[in-house]
Structure 1
Amino acid sequence: MEYMTLLIADDEPVILRGLKKLLPWEEMGLSIIGEANDGEELRQQIVRLQPQLVISDISMPGSSGIEIMRELQAQGSRIPVIFISAFQEFDYARDAVKLGALDYLVKPIDKNQLEQVVRRAIGIIREQCNEELTQERLSYYEQKSRLDATEKLVNGLLDGDRRALPSLLETEALNNTVPVTVCVLEVEEQIHHERWEEQERNLVQFAIANIIRENLQQHEQLECGLLVFKEDRFVILIQHTDEDTPRECMHLLQANIAEYLKIEMGCAIGQTCAELSLAAVSYQSALEALKRKYFARTGSVIEYDIAVDDEQMMTDSIVISSLPDLHTELIRAWTALEPMRMEQLLEQLFMCIRREAKSQRYTAVTSTYNSILTLNRELLQRGGGIEQDHTNSDWLSRLDACATYEQLTYEACHILRSLLQQSSNKSGGKELTLLTETKLYIEQHYNDNITLETVAARVYMNPYYFSSFFKKHTGQNFKNYVTDIRMKHALKLLLETDNLVYEIAELVGYNNVRHFSDMFKKQYGRVPQEYRQACKS
């Protein structure tokens, strides 16, 4: 139960104690919130406690009740006052009634008489409360009606309806000769997501709108700032003379909303136009800038002119212009074991995707997904990659869940690196088999005219990659490995047979005996004949 508040005053403590016990105040809906022992204290208590009813002795030290009533009347106060006095003084009673006192009671106070007066006071207080409530409601609805009408006109102006301009100028809040910039704010994590109930969305929108309006009112550099809610976005029409004002205002709004509501807002600033009638032009440019929100960092303020310049610079910086070319180069770099080159190509790939997406989020996501599928198909043809299964749909879900293009590129790089790593692991067993086959072939054909090109062709590798592959797994280049095999067999023939040196050279694959002798000496420190003699002696 909400009690009405009562303040009592008398310079005699026994009277104060008696007043508190005389009536069942709480049952009547009253709560005694303070007591005063003289006129000055009563004055201070009225200012501090703002009671709804006062019962006071009319004559107390410090200041009389009549003086306090005159002060209340001068302030426009409507607090009902009941005076009590030890004397039936006509002048006091007349002045008290003239100044608006509710009644004048003579001590000793009659309980029934006091109760009747108090109940009459309660009725008056209720009427006053109802009047104030009604007035507040009227004031609220009048203000809301004006605000709704202004927002409707602003919405029309932003849509290009210049018929709204004269009515807006009549409000005196706007000036057609002051530059105008339209800014658009959007919740980064859409509050229309399934996890948000409608009531929660409404509360969030209400809270954001309050912060925006409060900031607009407090910003000293703004000539005018109006907020409308349009197509699930917060649209702010700003009139200003300083060109930096919109940027400063939006950064401040983002910071305050993040601090108080823990919500990130994407923000776009349209181009500044010379007059209010061109607000629709500024609004459309703000929407164009907002489309690039996906391609900006979280919490960025995107300015239309700067966004256009950045887009052009990004386009000009691309080296390889087509996605198919980039896919081919990426596979080539992977095959050639060039990780640094792959990183450079990935960077170019995502720049190319962004350029071709033309600020469209859906296009960026699908193009990135298709690039991953294309690269996976290429890897499958080379014995790597991942077979088509639920993993592919998982890739698309992961990419689509990214809030910004920056996050998308990070996630896509993670998928691609994982894919290439799995391909390398998957091809690891195959590589081991190929290495075994290669070594066996060399062991069986070391005495033939075998070359790196002929052996690479047998395992379906290009010579460049085969050379890297062979050295990676043996620690030797191909030519030295073949020489070691030939020298091993030559040494065996030299020590176990009586074959002449030129015969041994031919048996291990050398047509030039001088070249064979040089290679043998390089391997074992002596030419073949000297080595044989040294071993026999």
Structure 2
Amino acid sequence: MRKITMIVADDEPVIVNGLKLIIDWDSLGVEIIGEAMDGQELLRLLREKEPDLIVSDICMPGLSGIDVLREIRKSDSPSKVIFISAYKEFAYAQDALKYGALNYLVKPVDTAALEQVVQDAVAVIRNDSMEERNRGKLEYLERNVRVRTTEELLDRLTDGDEGAIPELERIGQFWADRQHAVCVAEWGRVSPEEGRWQERERKLIDFAVANIMGEIVRGIPGSAFFRKKDAFCCLLAVDELDQAVQLANNIRDSVKSYLKIDLAIGIGRLMPNGRDAVASYRQAQAALERAYFIGQGQVLSHNSLQEQSGEYQATAHQAKLLQAMLTASPDAELSSTVSELLDTLRLTSAGSKHAALTGFYSTLMLLRQELNGMGVTLELLEEYAHSFLQRMSGIATLPEMESCFHESLEEIQRQLKTKLGSREIIQIKQVKDYIESHYAENITLDKISGLLYMNSSYFSTFFKKHTGENYKQYLTDVRMKHARRLLLQSELMIYEVAEQVGYSNARLFSEIFRKHFGMIPHEYRQTKGKLV
């Protein structure tokens, strides 16, 4: 335990020496670190040494003890004061206690009384010090909890959960007089050195990047840093898009300076409110993709993509290609469809390798998105999502790119035929689309199986085989998803929410909701979903 530091002050040297000798200060845990013979010297020592405790005469040349005590309080110094004086007047003691002195002793000082007063002072100082440490720990924990809460809410918001908006507004995340933009950053997605980073090294770099980016972003009022899987994301509060670009450049340059790695950053459009966060986030992702086409360490905004070459949109040929692959069209028809698509991509790329790559990549990612939505995952498409850009960027000519792209599509179709019959894929999508549109109705097993002209027993097996869930559970999941949304985003009564998601019995709805989320709808609404 550290010692309490003390300064002794009196204009009579014999008193100072006497105070030093009459008590075993060491046994009290006190160390005398200075002596003063007048008020000015005491004030100088106070500022220089910042003692925990001062034992001082109240009347000294230059400045009185009361004057020094006023300075202590004015500067918010934590130093405690015990006064000793030859004067018994009540006015002295009254002033001393008024300005915060711990005690007031009259000369000649009784040793036992002084020792008791000092012991009491030591206890007060140690208690204040402990409270200060605890307060610091509490503030640190509160800051951490707030940061984690903000990150979780922003993660939910950029996934489309608008129920996070009221909570973000409550903690002051959205400013009414400022706009916001979502930024997404990644490092090392394209690395010329295969296997350059070991897993442990990657984690350390991730930690360092998050620290640098978080420190910069949290210094901007109304802004916040958060993670989404491997990406580093932030919500920037700005007045115009150029400010967001400037901040992103600052982040990129800082990471480059400290870590010697390239950070690519995509910036979504400005949004006036949180409901546009999903759009801004997706645009930031799209901009990030293009940043890697152009070169590592790029910062690109959604607007800059449109200015440079126009954001690539899925063409009718892409949709036709998807349909051909799903319906298992003959190879000749598929080849013709691919050729038409390549002609379109060649025209829209206007001779730009990067624009052509964008077209190839967006086509593959469209296929991946549609198939995943049907519950079909192809390993080749998952692999392409992470490595296609790297593979294709090394190809020198457009014809070679087109040939490689064509071969990739043929392999995807082979895997698709092996994975599932295309007719069955379409049937599963048809069922899911119907449930999403009619979940509020009484969709019986017989009714849904009738859509596919199957008997209910076979349909149950068919649905479980292709989705991993039984039909009833899937329907319940969809209804509960929409019930949660209505509870958080509307003021409908519980029975009205139940009716809107397909339950005529509110009690049954509440019980199913409780099993799904761990609490009844009313409790869930009160907590705003914070515990789920």
Question: Partner letter of residue 304 of structure 2?
Answer: I
Aligned partner of 2:201 in structure 1 is 196
Deviation at 1:17, TM superposition (A): 4.5
Residues 272/94 of structure 1: CA separation in 2 closer, same or farther (3 Å cut)? closer
Instruction: Name the structure 2 match of 1:184.
Output: 184
Q: Distance in 1 between matches of 2:38 and 2:267?
A: 63
Counterpart amino acid of residue 217 in structure 2: I
For residue 287 of structure 1, the aligned residue among 263, 285, 301 is: 285
CA spacing shift, 1:266–1:368, aligned 2, 3 Å: closer
| C-alpha distance after superposition, 1:64-106 (max 9, x if no partner) | 2233335545666653211123455554345434544333334
Q: Secondary structure at the match of 1:155?
A: helix
Cα distance 1:22–1:145, how it changes in 2: closer, same or farther (>3 A)? same
Q: Which residue of 2 aligns with 1:212?
A: 217
User: Does the residue aligned with 2:266 lie in a helix, a strand or coil?
Assistant: strand
Specify the SS of the correspondent of 1:272.
coil
Q: Tell me the TM-score normalised to structure 2 length.
A: 0.53
User: Which residue, out of 207, 225, 228, partners 2:226?
Assistant: 228
Q: Distance in 2 between matches of 1:246 and 1:227?
A: 14
| CA 1:302–1:20: 2 relative to 1, 3 Å | farther
What is the 5 A alignment of 1:254-265? 254-260=252-258, 262-265=260-263
Rate the CA distance shift 1:112–1:176 in 2: closer, same or farther, 3 A: closer
Which residue in 1 is equivalent to 2:370? none
Seen in structure 2, the aligned counterparts of structure 1 residues 51 and 258 have a Cα distance that, compared at 3 Å, is farther
Q: Please give the alpha-carbon distance, in whole angstroms, between the structure 1 residues aligned to 2:267 and 2:157.
A: 17
1:409-428 mapped onto 2 (5 Å cutoff): none
Does residue 362 of the first structure (1) align with residue 387 of the second (2)? yes
Percent of aligned pairs sharing the same letter: 34
CA deviations 1:39-83 (Å, max 9, x no partner) are: 233334434543321111111012222333355456666532111
1:212 is paired with a residue whose SS is: helix
How far off its partner does 1:25 sit?
4.2
Displacement, 1:38?
A: 1.7
Match of 1:482 in 2: none
**TM-score (normalizing by structure 1):** 0.52
**Alpha-carbon contact 2:293-2:389 (below 8 Å) kept:** no
Answer with 1 or 2: which has the greater Rg. Answer: 1
Q: In the alignment, what sits opposite 1:341?
A: none
Shift of 1:308: 5.4
User: Residue in 2 aligned with 1:131?
Assistant: 131
CA distance in 1, matches of 2:261, 2:393: 28
- Structure 1: how far apart are the matches of 2:311 and 2:277? 28
CA drift of 1:30 comes to: 3.3
Residues 285-294 or 57-66, more deviating? 285-294
**1:173–1:212 CA distance, 2 compared to 1 (3 A):** closer
Residues of 1 paired with 2:218 and 2:156: CA distance? Answer: 20
Report the equivalent of 2:265: 267
Task: Determine the C-alpha separation between the residues in 2 that align with 1:233 and 1:302.
Answer: 16
Shift of 1:161: 1.8
Distance across 1 between alignment mates of 2:22 and 2:216: 51
Alignment of 1:393-412 (within 5 A): none
Kept in 2: contact 1:177–1:276 (CA 8 A) = no
After TM superposition, list the pairs within 5 Å mapping 1:330-349 onto structure 2: none
Q: Is the contact made by 1:176 and 1:276 (CA closer than 8 Å) also made in structure 2?
A: no
Matched, 1:278 2:276: yes
Counterpart residue number, 1:244: 242
How far does residue 357 in structure 1 lie from its aligned partner after superposition?
Answer: 4.6
The answer as to whether partners of 1:179 and 1:276 remain within 8 angstroms in 2 is: no
Aligned partner of residue 60 in structure 1, secondary structure: coil
C-alpha separation in 1, matches of 2:18 and 2:256: 57
In the alignment, the residues of structure 2 paired with residue 79 and residue 126 of structure 1 have an alpha-carbon distance, to the nearest angstrom, of 12
Do residues 39 (structure 1) and 36 (structure 2) align? no
Q: How do 1:296-335 residues align onto structure 2 when only pairs under 5 Å count?
A: 296-307=294-305, 310=308
1:247-302 Cα offsets, whole Å, 9 max, x none, are 11111222234345555422111123354321210101111222234323332212
Q: Match of 1:57?
A: 57
Give the root-mean-square deviation of aligned CA atoms.
4.1
Q: Any gaps of 5 or more consecutive residues in structure 1?
A: 218-223, 315-346, 376-537
Deviation sequence 1:299-347 (CA, Å, 0-9, x none): 2212233345556699xxxxxxxxxxxxxxxxxxxxxxxxxxxxxxxx9
Name the CA distance, whole Å, in 2 between partners of 1:307 and 1:82.
71
> What does residue 117 of structure 2 align with?
117
Distance in 2 (CA, whole Å) between partners of 1:36 and 1:67 is 15
Establish whether residue 69 from structure 1 lines up as the match of residue 69 from structure 2.
Answer: yes
The 1:111–1:277 alpha-carbon spacing in structure 2 relative to 1, beyond 3 Å, is same
Looking at structure 1, the residues matched to 14 and 188 of structure 2 have their Cα atoms a distance apart, in angstroms, of 68
Three-state SS of the structure 2 residue aligned to 1:196 is: helix
Q: Deviations over 1:223-268 (max 9, x none)?
A: x322222223332212333231111111122223434555542211
| Number of residue pairs aligned between Structure 1 and Structure 2 | 336
Q: Is the 8 A contact 1:96 1:104 kept in 2?
A: yes
Residues 84 and 106 of structure 2 are in contact (CA less than 8 Å); yes or no, is this contact kept in structure 1? yes
Q: Secondary structure at the match of 1:2?
A: coil
1:18 to partner: Cα distance: 4.6
Q: Which residue type is aligned with residue 277 of structure 2?
A: A
Specify the alignment match of 1:9 in structure 2.
9
